[in-house]
Amino acid sequence: MEDINIRKENSKYNEKVIVLRISGRLDAKASDYLEQILDEEIKNKNYFIILDLKDVNYLGSSTIRVFLGMRNKIDKNKGFLRIINMPSTGLKIIKAMEIEDKFDIYEFERDAAKT
């Protein structure tokens, strides 16, 4: 996928946690791709996931929908989906939709990685 890059690594703060470092545009097409990646992680029993959005230059409402759906799947497996470096556009969408309580947003990976 040319508009988005997703790099997977283990968190240096917790061996149970994987970090998906995302860069590029998270538009509708990229959100579908991200959803496939997250589904694959869940199938592989990776239930502790941090999404690092530091290098995301666009985040659309379709991405918020993916985050919500994946969080529900992960919650059923007693894991977590946490976000670090949420772009201001994402925060505005979440606030406008009045769903701030549905997200675990952190500033630092070391805090987000705590289980």
pTM for the structure as a whole: 0.93
Q: How far apart are CA 57 and CA 46, in angstroms?
A: 26
Domain count, the chain: 1
Q: Which residues contact 60 (CB under 8 A, 6 or more apart)?
A: 26, 27, 28, 31, 93
Tell me which DSSP letter residue 3 carries: S
Q: What are the tens digits of pLDDT across the range 30-76?
A: 999 999 999 999 999 999 999 999 999 999 889 999 999 999 999 99
Q: What is the CATH number of the domain that holds 35?
A: 3.30.750.24
